[in-house]
Structure 1
Amino acid sequence: MTKPIVRAVDLRQQVYENLRGRITSGEFDENTRFYERTFADELGVSRTPVREALAMLEQDGLLSQAARGYRLPRMSRQQVIDVTEIRLLLEPHAIGSMVRQTKPAKRAKIAALIRKEVEASRDSDAYIAAHGRMREVILSEVENRSLVDAIQQYEDSIHFVRISTLGRPAWRRMSADGMLDLADALEAGDDQRAAELQLTLLTKARDSFLEFSETDA
């Protein structure tokens, strides 16, 4: 009798998902260096799947090569300005359309989730990961998936901006207050107000990063 083939565990994918989740949640600070040996020892795997996972993360824009190993990417002030310009064109429209197309009960559920996430994390670095989860929930309800794909092209590339700004208490509070206002607009079905709030949030995030980059220059 022929035995069924057992698919081998894809260690590369597991390492990739482990590191990707930790990077996007803000676990690593901006000066972290990513070495094959370090994570092979930590995760209990050989260096090969770690090497392949790090290369995948670089391809995604989550890491960039350094003199030795990898590091979190740096975005220039102009890159942040350019990417924000694109996001300002896409995201307010996406959120406004989501409000118009989503049923009241679903909007209320999303609003309640946003409030819960904000209240649980606004006073700590846990807000960085919570912010990502809130965005995912909102974008998941946008019917135009091509529009969402266009927005998400820049999602990973701006994680350094998110970590830099939301890791600072004053900027985190500003974002949290904005998300609570957005929750109110979603629940009320006010698509114009929701779009305006998203535009404001993106503009403040850009300006906060530019202020951060001047401070650290």
Structure 2
Amino acid sequence: MASARDTIYETLRSRLTSGHYPEDASLIPQTLSEEFAVSRTPVREALGLLERDGLLVSTQRGFTLRRRSDEEMLEVFEARAVLESSAAYAAALRRSPIDLARLDDLLARTRTESEPAAIRRCFNLWHEAVRQAAHNQTIGGLLHTLDAQAKLSAPWKTPLAEGTFDTSRDEHERMTEAIRAQDGELARTLMLEHQAHDRDTRILQLVSQMAQTAPSGSAPAPPTMDPTQEET
């Protein structure tokens, strides 16, 4: 059974990566211990793990959300692309029939779902399935952390352009076939290209939204979060 610390950690992590807290929020151990009806020890331990994950920064009173610069976010995207491509390479070499069936099922669901949020979720689950097929817990753990950092520090809001789902589905299908054919180098290359496309799309979205929301003659306002965006 999950400990109180682990339960609190997962709950707070989900909140942080889904835009539950405003940017200036302060997470106070005493307040959270009252909310979760536990002592402050598991709360402090959970907050410490979130700080280790790069999601929080400790202060005198508690913890605040960590925000990254544009340069730091590019570093996160770069690191994630390298690890995702390594996972794709390993998946091509180690995938089982169950792994392939999972990938196929998720792609099939992207064709039958009608809601954008549901389609995005299927794509995200597809990436998780690739990580499982890689059978490398170290890569999976590092990507889990980078995913959270990207969602917290790069909160994208601008809707995806028309046709983006079709393009993304084609890319996912080609990667799936490379994994099925056990072509590790092709799977790695296709994943790198896919991650580069996703990075460039997100950067354009951020720049566009900042330009639209900035008052005349002032600095652009930071974007707000849509937690359903694909692969952020």
Q: TM-score, normalised by structure 1?
A: 0.68
Residue by residue over 1:151-183, the C-alpha shift from the partner in whole angstroms, topping out at 9 and shown as x without a partner, is 556343323256x23x44216973685256314
Which SS does the other structure have where 2:134 is aligned?
Answer: coil
Cα shift at 1:139: 0.6
Partner residue, 1:107: 100
Q: Report % sequence identity.
A: 25
Residue by residue over 1:183-211, the C-alpha shift from the partner in whole angstroms, topping out at 9 and shown as x without a partner, is 45414635465434422332233224433
Partner residue, 1:181: 171
Q: Which of the numbers 111, 130, 144 marks the counterpart of 1:138?
A: 130
C-alpha separation between the residues in 2 aligned to 1:46 and 1:39? 9
Partner residue, 1:96: 89
Letter in 1 for 2:103: I
Q: Is the 8 A contact 1:93 1:195 kept in 2?
A: yes
Residue by residue over 1:81-105, the C-alpha shift from the partner in whole angstroms, topping out at 9 and shown as x without a partner, is 2233333334224313412442456
Q: Is the 8 A contact 1:171 1:208 kept in 2?
A: no
1:76 aligns with 2:66: no
1:12 aligns with 2:5: yes
C-alpha separation between the residues in 2 aligned to 1:132 and 1:32? 28
C-alpha separation between the residues in 1 aligned to 2:161 and 2:91? 26
Q: Is the 8 A contact 1:97 1:142 kept in 2?
A: yes
Residue by residue over 1:125-162, the C-alpha shift from the partner in whole angstroms, topping out at 9 and shown as x without a partner, is x6776555433221111145555555556343323256
Partner residue, 1:4: none
Letter in 2 for 1:139: R
C-alpha separation between the residues in 1 aligned to 2:124 and 2:6? 21
How large is the Cα RMSD of the aligned pairs? 3.9
Partner residue, 2:198: 205
Question: 1:35-54 alignment to 2 at 5 Å?
Answer: 35-54=28-47
Structure 1 residue runs of 5 or longer lacking an equivalent are 1-6
Q: Is the 8 A contact 2:54 2:149 kept in 1?
A: yes
Question: 1:23-38 alignment to 2 at 5 Å?
Answer: 23-24=16-17, 26-28=18-20, 31=23, 33=25, 34-38=27-31
C-alpha separation between the residues in 2 aligned to 1:120 and 1:23? 27
Cα shift at 1:117: 6.4
Q: Which of the numbers 142, 150, 159 marks the counterpart of 1:158?
A: 150
The count of corresponding residues between Structure 1 and Structure 2 is 206
C-alpha separation between the residues in 1 aligned to 2:36 and 2:119? 26
Partner residue, 2:49: 56
Which SS does the other structure have where 1:28 is aligned?
Answer: coil
Taking a change above 3 Å as real, the CA distance of residues 14 and 106 of structure 1, as seen in their structure-2 partners, is: closer
Q: TM-score, normalised by structure 2?
A: 0.65
